[in-house]
Amino acid sequence: MRIPIHRAGVPFIALFIAVNAVLFWLSAIAGALFLPVTIWCVAFFRDPERTPPAGEHLVISPADGVLLPVADARPPAELSLGSQPRKRLSIFMNVFDVHVNRMPVGGEIIALSYRPGRFFNASFDKASVHNERMSARLRPNGNTDPTDDLVVVQIAGLIARRIVCDLKVGDHVRRGARFGMIRFGSRLDVYLPLSAKIVVKEGSVTKAGVTVLAELRE
């Protein structure tokens, strides 16, 4: 059975396999003990195909993980969306989740901003403010009002130290399309437009490109 792998994981998987082969050559016991780590590395970079649900007004999850408590928070200041609080949906990814990130809606990338920061545990609320992050401002298809823009933030965690984002300002993206990943264990925040209606419950397990988080104003 073929396991789909994200291209960012190929160098890591090759390294783990090489180390495992050397350990097996030195000692069968050492190789066997390290084998689960190699299997985990392969599993971490898996990239399964996903089919988004029908309905262009739906906001789907950008990440696999667990939905943390919904908060009212200001979007990242660097995206120039004002200081009015919005509903923030935060998804915590542990080291066993699929880490490929997908676009929650289709539209145009209006702004991008990378900000270095700390590496607090991504499940902590303060991670959204203090941790290293990559923020994207997205204007959904068919919308012209800036207040309808949506924000997606990739946030590094305690173990995660590398954010991969393939987006560029001006890109037109499809809902459910891959746009990056975070290594190893992290968090995704989605700041919704003020008119959006949340349809998912706190504590729900989400799947990127599949789980519906909210509905936009039609």
Q: Which of 61, 186, 195, 204 is catalytic?
A: 186
Cβ–Cβ under 8 Å, residues 82 and 94: no
Q: Is 113 a known active-site residue? A: no
Q: Which residues in the chain belong to E strands, given as ranges?
A: 58-60, 65-67, 71-73, 86-93, 100-102, 107-115, 133-140, 150-156, 162-165, 172-173, 178-183, 186-191, 197-198, 205-206, 212-215
Cα angle at 145 between 210 and 116, to 5 degrees? 65
Active site residues: 186
